Chain A
């Protein structure tokens, strides 16, 4: 998408031997300072994270010990076993996976079709309609949440997964935007020569554009997964049945119970975070490109 490594700082001329020692030193100071500040900030970012991981392996006593225990004496992998035994973790996981999986299908199918319509079919008013699509991105969920709750209640959908699944089959402004940008960049000649051969728009979409768009479709799929995996307010509002609770909602329920066992809570929390971490480490490029790309529009 773009060059990742563009230098913006003019190289400082190398200190040559004719310069006095202090001058050579003073040229190095800013760089050393920058490193020092960056390393300190990086530590502040990484310590809470390691704290989470180590907390899940501590005993209850170590967790609230003073002074702080940094590395648990015995790694309590039993916390995980205990947590899975005490909480309906597998049920929550199953529910979360159902929602995540159905939404992946809905998000990819609907948004690629819609983005194709905006990027590669030339129809009157399409730019005006596209602005409307972008405008919906600014609409807070709080505005539509209440009428949707009333609507889903009347449809008998509350207490089922449907309110969290069905809307994903009808497009999402942000994903449409990302996909459209990519589709526009695919050379027009590809479609034109296919049209000469008598291919329909749908066939061009399915057999030419979609295979070419794998990187951006992957990015959209990752965003969709992350969103649904961690979503809290959606399940809270629409899932009234605790047999349908997702991991997010389940953890909150465990926590609001009286006197939760924190080590177990952290074990469940770590189990919920690790899949996202794995996804990140395998798909780092798509992540970073996707995130960087969102900022580049004026």
Chain B
């Protein structure tokens, strides 16, 4: 009986097994192998040991791309997380009418395809005639050069990411609606104010959802590619040369397959490491 159920089960998941072997496991190990070779897609890979990894850490451009991406994670993702949680908390108020209207408004930008989003934002961020600087101009504030300025290029991308983060708001809102109203009632009886309730009830209860969104956001940020490729191609002065963009350039523009594969493996290790750390950290914050 057990044997038969094993056979049936494996039969049902057999497409996944084939896909896992061919499209996941094989490429992961092939990538590890390429990372130890000198390979340009023509000819055969030449084994060079850890040379690619050593070279990477003395490659100033690589370190810049890593720093740029860390900026997006540490500053960008924190900003986006705080903003989206705040918006969700504001929305999660029984006395607010038109919840479904607001939900649609925040969700709409996520429906815009990446390429269209990039085209739109190039134009919104245009220093002279763009939407943002025109509005700032109305208030007499001279706007920055946004994508043309090394200092403002990354904040431009953060702003754009926040605009497209409506799905996070929806997820947080769903998480908030799962929190029992009894907790808030009890806190009110004890005389807690709105701020105390947010800090001592809302945020701890929302912890699993926040951790989930931060991990997804982190993986997404490290993989972020299309926007920078389309909008700035890494400029100005490498200010938006993000990790995956430099990886793509190495692989498909310079044909440094070994080098790009080493970058891919470092990426994998960073993503796994951060995920494990976040989960550990989050368990320590778990309320008793």
Instruction: Spell out A's residues near B (CB within 8 Å).
Output: 2-11, 30-31, 34-35, 37-38, 41-42, 44-49, 51-52, 55, 63-68, 110, 113-114, 116-118, 121-124, 126, 129, 132-133, 136, 138-151, 153, 167, 169-171, 176, 201, 205, 226, 229-230, 232-233, 236-237, 247-249, 251-252, 255, 262, 265-266, 269-270, 272-273, 276-277, 280, 284, 287-288, 291-298
Asked if A171 and B19 sit within 8 Å, CB to CB, the answer is yes
By a CB distance below 8 angstroms, the chain B residues around A45 are 105-106, 108-109, 163, 166
Q: Are B219 and A146 neighbours in the complex by a CB distance under 8 Å?
A: no
| Known contacts A52-B116, A116-B12, A146-B31, A295 near B264 by CB under 8 Å | no
From known contacts A47-B131, A68-B134, A171-B19, infer whether A230 and B114 are also in contact, taking CB-CB under 8 Å.
yes
Taking the nearest CB of chain A, how far is it from the CB of B21, in angstroms?
9
Whether A31 contacts B209 by the Cβ 8 Å rule is no
Q: With A143-B264, A170-B18, A170-B22 as given contacts, are A138 and B271 in contact (CB-CB < 8 Å)?
A: yes
A117 B174 Cβ-Cβ under 8 A: no
Interface core residue of B8, B109, B260 (most chain A CB under 10 Å): B8
Contact call A292/B24, Cβ cutoff below 8 A: no
Q: Which residues of B contact A (CB under 8 A)?
A: 2, 5-6, 8-13, 15-16, 18-20, 22-24, 26-28, 30-31, 34, 41, 87, 90-96, 99, 102-109, 111-116, 119-121, 123-124, 126, 128-129, 131, 134, 137, 163, 166-167, 170-179, 181, 184-185, 188, 194, 208-209, 212-213, 219, 222-223, 225-226, 229-230, 244, 247-248, 251-252, 257, 260-261, 263-265, 267-268, 271-272, 275
12 A-B residue pairings within 8 Å (CB atoms):
A6-B177, A9-B95, A64-B126, A123-B2, A123-B10, A133-B16, A142-B223, A153-B41, A170-B19, A232-B230, A247-B113, A291-B167
**A139 and B18 contact, Cβ closer than 8 Å, known pairs A8-B92, A248-B114:** no
CB distance from B94 to the nearest CB of A (A): 4
CB-defined contacts of B108 to chain A, threshold 8 Å: 45-46, 49, 277, 280
Report which residue of A6, A122, A167 has the largest number of chain B beta carbons within 10 angstroms of its beta carbon: A6
Question: Quick one: which of B18, B128, B209, B222 contacts A140, CB cutoff 8 A?
Answer: B222
Q: Do the beta carbons of A67 and B107 come within 8 Å of each other?
A: no
Contact of A51 among B90, B124, B175 (CB under 8 A): B124
Residue on B nearest A119 in the bound complex, by CB: B12
Q: Chain A contacts of B112 at CB under 8 A?
A: 49, 52, 273, 276
B123, A276: Cβ atoms closer than 8 Å: no
- Contact of A114 with B104 in the complex, beta carbons under 8 Å: no
Do the beta carbons of A121 and B8 come within 8 Å of each other? yes
* Known A-B contacts A35-B96, A37-B90; A176 and B113 likewise in contact (beta carbons under 8 Å): no
For A148, the closest partner residue in chain B by CB is B27
Bound-state CA distance A45–B124 (Å) is 13
| Distance in angstroms between the alpha carbons of A10 and B191 in the assembled complex | 12
- Among B11, B107, B129, which residue has its beta carbon within 8 angstroms of that of A117? B11
A123 touches B9 (CB 8 A): yes
Give chain B nearest CB distance to A163 CB in angstroms: 10
A295 B172 Cβ-Cβ under 8 A:
yes
